């Protein structure tokens, strides 16, 4: 579903990604972790072309992201993305947040879009908040709306860019619960996250990045059992201590 | 000791009212066209297209670097001559039209700078979210960025409108009878220039002060 082939990226002179190669198969849940500044967020933003890259290629469902002839808007319309800071549109109601892209991009009627949006809102347990603005919701609630907004586009896969790192600890679980459910339904997911509990529960594979490189790319049990690289061992030792 | 005589003001009120309408017409046209054209300039200036960005920057810098009075005179004296040369016929009284055009084009340069700052005040993540949903860059600008940018800019836009309202008095250089110009003419006619100018000043003060209080009020509401 997502093939990342030898991707390298520079910000000016500074190389942020070095020769990254991996793959996410249909129905697979892949967790990307690593220390901050390791390039994991940059890598996931390359997948839907939000960040350009200079070398290599990424192919999503048969479409090349790096090809200048690719209609990126069309490609993005069926790749859902959830951001660290939610990025709901603050000037719109929750309902409008859920429907705007369905109407403007997919050409659905307002009724159809609202119907779909409200169903998904119900699914993330927030139906009562449809008429509110994002500012009136807690962080965890906003992130659940953001997930519903992405799902409303009927995505073929979902990208999560540190979806819980801006949340208060007590709100993390409500978001993870939605993600776990999604994973168990067979959604193809690529998640940048430090939530190792989530990784253990639903991930098929774990990718560990450091200094712009994919250092470790292993099945979940192998990764948590005995990571090959020393760097990954150190990282795991630190975050699993508590 | 100078003795004030306000008696010529009541009779001149209808005339002054007409003048005020001209002032408002120039102000409102400049606000509407200025914000519309200014938005296009701001978007062009921020676009990744080098040529567009360069042209927009050139326009803004040109208009911001020359005195308004000169722009008004250009559009009154030079542009009509050029048009006349082009079409070969007289075009009648163009004072109002030339003032409207001059102010609109001039104000657009200032509005575009305010709007550019407004666009840049919207977090980059909002653009990313719009694009990630499949909206085109144009749709993202129109539906996601600009509505938020304008909301952030309302106080600044209104402040600029107050400045503009005062600046319209400069149309006296082309003999257009706006509020100030009318007051001056009436005062000159009746030999009561001091009274008329004091009255006009008071009127400008009341209008501008009222609007600026409104701006303060809005600011308090939007910032919280």
Smallest CA–CA distance from B126 into chain A, residue: A87
The model's confidence at residue B77, banded by pLDDT at 50, 70 and 90, is: confident
3-state secondary structure A138-193: CHHHHHHHHHHHHHCCCCCEEEEECCCCCCCHHHHHHHHHHHHHHHHCCCCEEEEC
Say how far apart CA A163 and CA A14 lie, in whole Å: 26
How close is the nearest chain A Cα to the Cα of B52, in Å? 21
User: How confident is the model at residue A5, as a pLDDT?
Assistant: 94
Stated pTM of the model: 0.86
Tell me the average pLDDT across B117-135.
95
Minimal Cα–Cα distance from B175 to chain A, Å?
46
pLDDT at position B46 is 93
- Is there a contact between A104 and B129 if contact means CB atoms under 8 Å apart? no
Q: Is A153 on the interface with B (CB under 8 A)?
A: yes
**Nearest Cα residue in chain B from A75:** B134
CB neighbours (10 Å) of residue B222? 12
How many domains does chain B fold into? 1
Looking at the structure of chain A, the number of domains it has is 1
A77 touches chain B (CB under 8 A): yes
CA pseudo-torsion sign B64, B69, B74, B80: positive
Q: Are A103 and A110 in contact (CB under 8 A)?
A: yes
In this prediction, residue A234 has a pLDDT band, given cuts at 50, 70 and 90, of confident
Question: For residues A129 and A93, is the Cβ–Cβ distance under 8 A?
Answer: no
Give B122→chain A minimum CA distance, Å: 11
The CATH number covering residue B50 comes to: 1.10.3720.10
The CA distance from B42 to B142, in Å, is 13
Residue B224 pLDDT more than 60?
A: no
CB A188 within 8 A of CB A173: no
Q: Which residues contact A12 (CB under 8 A, 6 or more apart)?
A: none
Q: Provide the 3-class DSSP secondary structure of residue B60.
A: helix
Query: B interface mutation test: which of A87, A113, A148 has the most B CBs within 10 A?
Result: A87
Two tokens at A239? 């975050």
Shortest distance, CA A80 to any CA of chain B (angstroms): 7
Would A137 be classed as within a structural domain?
Answer: no
Query: Is the residue at B125 inside a domain?
Result: yes
Model pLDDT, residue B218: 80
Instruction: Tell me if B3 is assigned to some domain.
Output: no
Q: What is the pLDDT of residues B19-28, one digit of tens each?
A: 999 999 999 9
Chain mean pLDDT for chain B: 90
pLDDT at B222: 66
Q: Which of A65, A68, A88, A90 to mutate to test the interface with B (most CBs of B within 10 A)?
A: A90
Distance from CA of B148 to the nearest CA of A (A): 7
CB atoms within 10 A of CB A11: 10
Return d(Cα A106, Cα B17) in angstroms, integer.
54
pLDDT tens across A167-214, in order? 998 899 999 999 999 999 999 999 999 899 999 989 999 999 999 999
Residue A98 pLDDT exceeds 90: yes
Residue B215's pLDDT is: 84
User: Cα angle vertex A165, ends A159, A168, to 5°?
Assistant: 130
pLDDT band at B18 (very low <50, low <70, confident <90, very high): very high
Contact B57, B65 (CB under 8 A): no
Q: In the predicted model, is pLDDT for residue B197 greater than 70? A: yes
* B200-203 contacts at long range (C-beta below 8 A, 24 or more positions apart): B200/B16, B203/B20, B203/B179
Percent of chain A with pLDDT over 70: 99
pLDDT band, very low/low/confident/very high, at A37 (cuts 50, 70, 90): confident
Range of the structural domain that residue A220 is part of? 1-71+189-241
A12-25 per-position pLDDT tens digit:
899 999 999 999 99
Q: Please report whether residue A205 resides in a domain.
A: yes
Q: Indicate whether A242 pLDDT > 80.
A: no
Number of A to B CB contacts under 8 A, please give it.
62
Q: How far is CA A206 from CA A80, A190, A203, B146, in A?
A: 20, 10, 7, 40
Residue B1 lies in a domain: no
Q: Considering the domain boundaries, does residue A118 fall inside one? A: no
Q: How far is B131 from chain A (nearest CA, A)?
A: 7
CATH number at residue A9: 3.40.50.300
Residue of higher predicted confidence among A237 and B104: B104
**Average predicted confidence (pLDDT) for chain A:** 93
> Comparing A43-52, A68-77, A162-171, B2-11, which segment has the lowest mean pLDDT?
B2-11
Residues 205-234 of A with CB under 8 A from B: none
- What residue numbers bound the domain in which B104 lies? 10-222
Q: Is the pLDDT of residue B90 over 70?
A: no
Tell whether the torsion through CA atoms of B128, B134, B137 and B143 is positive or negative: negative
- pLDDT of the residue at A213: 93
pLDDT category of residue A230 using cuts at 50, 70 and 90: confident
Q: Which residue of B has its CA nearest to A90?
A: B148
Q: Do B139 and A91 touch (CB under 8 A)?
A: no
Q: Please report whether residue A61 resides in a domain.
A: yes
Question: Which candidate, B70, B54, B60, B163, places its Cα nearest to that of B108?
Answer: B60
Looking up tokens 């009648």 gives B92
In whole angstroms, how far apart are CA B187 and each of B6, B170, B193?
A: 10, 17, 4
**A59 at the B interface (CB within 8 A)?**
no
Q: What is the mean pLDDT of residues A123-152?
A: 95
Please report residues of A whose CB lies closer than 8 A to that of B147. 91
Q: Which residue has the higher pLDDT, A80 or B11?
A: A80
A1-to-A61, A62, A161 alpha-carbon distances in Å:
5, 8, 18
Nearest to B132 among A48, A88, A104 (CB): A48
- Tokens describing residue B42: 């701001």
Partner-chain contact B135 A101, CB within 8 Å? yes
Q: Is residue A196 assigned to a domain?
A: yes
Q: Percentage of residues in chain B with pLDDT exceeding 70?
A: 96
A85 in contact with chain B, both atoms CB, cutoff 8 A:
yes
């Amino acid at each position: 579903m997502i093939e990342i082939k030898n991707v390298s990226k520079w910000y000016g002179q500074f190389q942020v990604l070095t020769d990254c190669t991996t793959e996410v198969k249909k129905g697979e849940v892949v967790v990307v972790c690593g220390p901050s500044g390791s390039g994991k967020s940059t890598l996931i933003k390359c997948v839907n072309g939000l960040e350009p890259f200079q070398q290599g290629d990424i192919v999503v469902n048969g479409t090349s992201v790096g090809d200048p002839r690719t209609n990126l808007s069309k490609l993005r319309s069926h790749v859902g993305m959830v951001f660290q800071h939610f990025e709901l549109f603050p000037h719109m109601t929750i309902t409008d947040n859920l429907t705007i892209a369905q109407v403007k991009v997919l050409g659905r009627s307002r009724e159809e879009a609202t119907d779909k949006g409200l169903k998904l809102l119900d699914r993330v347990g927030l139906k009562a908040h449809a008429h509110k603005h994002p500012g009136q919701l807690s962080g965890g609630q906003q992130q659940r709306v953001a997930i519903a907004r992405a799902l409303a586009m009927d995505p073929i896969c979902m990208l999560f860019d540190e979806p819980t790192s801006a949340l208060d600890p007590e709100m993390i679980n409500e978001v993870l619960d939605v993600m776990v459910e999604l994973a168990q339904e067979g959604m193809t997911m690529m998640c940048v996250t430090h939530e190792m509990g989530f990784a253990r529960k639903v991930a098929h594979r774990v990718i560990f990045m450091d200094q712009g490189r994919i250092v470790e790319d292993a099945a979940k049990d192998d990764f948590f059992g005995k990571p090959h690289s020393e760097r990954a061992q150190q990282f795991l030792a630190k975050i699993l201590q508590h | 000791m100078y003795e004030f005589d306000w008696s010529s003001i009541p009779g001149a009120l209808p005339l002054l009212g007409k003048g005020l309408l001209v002032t408002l017409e120039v102000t409102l046209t400049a606000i509407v066209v200025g914000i519309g054209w200014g938005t296009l300039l701001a978007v062009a200036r921020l676009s990744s297209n080098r040529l567009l960005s360069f042209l927009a920057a050139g326009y803004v810098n040109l208009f911001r670097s020359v005195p308004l009075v000169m722009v008004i005179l250009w559009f009154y004296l030079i542009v009509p001559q050029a048009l006349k040369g082009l079409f070969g016929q007289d075009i009648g009284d163009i004072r109002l039209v030339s003032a409207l055009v001059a102010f609109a084009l001039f104000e657009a340069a200032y509005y575009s700078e305010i709007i550019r700052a407004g666009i840049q005040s919207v977090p980059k993540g909002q653009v990313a979210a719009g694009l990630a949903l499949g909206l085109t860059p144009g749709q993202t600008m129109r539906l996601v960025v600009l509505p938020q940018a304008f909301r952030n800019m309302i106080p600044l836009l209104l402040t600029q409108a107050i400045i503009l309202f005062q600046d319209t008095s400069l149309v006296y250089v082309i003999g257009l009878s706006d509020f100030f110009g009318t007051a001056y003419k009436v005062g000159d006619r009746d030999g009561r220039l001091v009274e008329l100018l004091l009255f006009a000043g008071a009127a400008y003060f009341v209008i501008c002060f009222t609007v600026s209080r409104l701006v303060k009020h809005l600011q308090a509401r939007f910032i919280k």
